[in-house]
Amino acid sequence: MSYCVNPSCSQPKNPKNAEVCQACGSSLILRGRYRVLGILGKGGFGATFVAVDLSLPGKPWCVVKQLRPSTDDPALFKMAKELFEREAETLGRIGNHPQVPRLLDYFEDRQQFYLVQEYVKGHNLHQEVKKNGPFSEVGVRQFLSEVLPILQYIHTQRVIHRDIKPANIIRREEDRQLVLIDFGAVTNQVNSVANSASTQTAFTAFAVGTAGFAPPEQMAMRPVFASDIYAVGVTCLYLLIGKSPKDLGTDPTTGEITWERWVTVSESFAKVLKTMLEVSVRHRYKTANEVLQALELVPYSESLAQSMINAPNLEKGTGNSAILSTTPISKIGTGNRTRIDRATRTSANPPAPNVPNKATAGSNFSAALNYQMSSNYAIDKNRLTSPSKSPAPKKPVPKLDANSIVEGYKNGRRDFAQQELNNLNLSRASLPGAIFHQSQLNQANFQRANLANADFGHANLTHADLRNANLSRAYLSYADLEGADLRGADLSFAHLTYANLKGANLCGANLTNAKVTEEQLVYAKTNRSTIMPTGRKGFW
């Protein structure tokens, strides 16, 4: 089928190979190369179509966005054209990121403006939740680890997206990576141009966004970079709950979304969400990097809380409760924090070489407590003051095998966290974005598997076979990789913070931009073919 883009056409559907519209006589081939196949959506000032590019081999699909400025005023039309060209330049610049659709073309035809962008095949997160149900906390943290670097990139390009929501984030079918779409500022800017009473305010008097996802300052036409942080936070709520923000209710006094009663997440992660969702920009995270840094502390703070519960008498004649009641609340320096991170590793996550053991940890316990109590990650007081109270027993988790994981993944399942998967054979499996958080994967075979963006945080991967595996942007913080075979693996942009790499074979591995320290790599095997985080081959 061919589709007519004339807004006034009464019968836009036409036969597949028609050259002109049978109803209105308009050409069905835009710019002599784009045949529109159908409409994806429309509003009062424009529409979005799917098309094929007849000029390229294979006739690839693309997205055509049509802007229709409804004005007869020459001055306003000129202003709309300038805004359109400025937006096209912006989209062309940010489209260099692999998770942002590329701008392929832009042009004007019969006083209508067109943007042509790369077509992303896949399902958006709104559809994903409707099909598979809400995400787990681990799944939402994985989502943040994927989408925040995209946000960080567009903000460095001085661009505010202004319409982040589940429907504008697509999980690309070919590699399961998230793609941020619909930088819809053009339409809204031109809408304001057409409706503004003053041409002097036409450039600035516009608000972009979706009600419920956009923060107050954005709806008041003063968007800032932190406005996108708020929208990502609301998106997290939708992923966790499966409900629109308007269905959650708001505090009539503060205007804050009353979301806490709808979700059950760790206290530390709830603190991150709360800061993302602050109504006041002053108290909200200002950058995507701030959120990423806070998220990296979540596993640390939870491990520290658990170590406090189970800690023996760390001072002569003094138990946990006495320490808690007498320790002053004060902040400590960055250097101490580094030592605490290493000293308070739990037994489920063995410390890397040269990391103090439990005996040494005792001398740092008071400092650890000071830091924890002064941080943004509060500990559950009931848990701390009742160390003898046994936690509620966990429900048994059905054991999975390789076939059930592969089939489950094909059917939309992503969460395989906290599973016993030792000796599992998933060689050459395609599982990008899968979640194996805290799973036992000792001697598992992931040779040549696609594990891009997968979550292996706190997982046991000792002696696992990860040769030539794609672990790009994978989350491996606090993972135990002792003796793992990572020869030729792609670890670019991977998170390896506090991972145990003792005896791990990284010969020929690609660690470009990976988050890993020189101290960690000292205990791993590398050679001249290893690409270090700096992008250079050879030893650090």
Binding-site residues for ATP sit at 65
Give the H/E segment covering residue 231. helix 225-241
Q: Look-up: residue for tokens 């709360």?
A: 274
Closest CA to 226 of 284, 149, 176: 284
Question: CA nearest 496: which of 485, 484, 511?
Answer: 511
Residue 49 tokens, joined = 């179509």
How far from chain centre, in Å, is Cα 446?
24
Contact call for residues 351 and 345 (beta carbons, < 8 A): yes
CA 359, CA 513: separation in Å to the nearest integer? 35
**Residue 88, SS3 per DSSP:** helix
The dihedral built from the CA positions of residue 214, 219, 220 and 224, taken in this order, carries a sign that is positive
Catalytic residue, candidates 53, 163, 182, 415: 163
DSSP letter for 243, please: S
Question: Beta partners for 445?
Answer: 425, 465
How far apart (Å, rounded) are the C-alpha atoms in residues 267 and 208? Answer: 33
Please tell me the distance from the alpha carbon of residue 195 to that of residue 202, in angstroms, as a whole number. 8
Name the β-bridge partners of 169.
Answer: 180
Residue 419's φ and ψ, nearest 5 degrees, are -110, 155
Task: Give the residue from 421, 420, 422, 426 showing the smallest Cα distance to 451.
Answer: 426
The H or E element containing residue 105 is: strand 103-109
The SS3 assignment for 440 reads strand
Residue 72 is a catalytic residue: no
Q: How far is CA 355 from CA 361, 392, 499, in A?
A: 10, 32, 12
> Beta-carbon neighbour count of residue 352 at 10 Å?
22
Any idea what the Cα angle at residue 43 is, between residues 37 and 45, rounded to 5°? 100
Q: Pairing relation of β-strands 169-172 and 122-124?
A: antiparallel
* DSSP-assigned letter for residue 51: E
Q: Which residues are catalytic?
A: 163
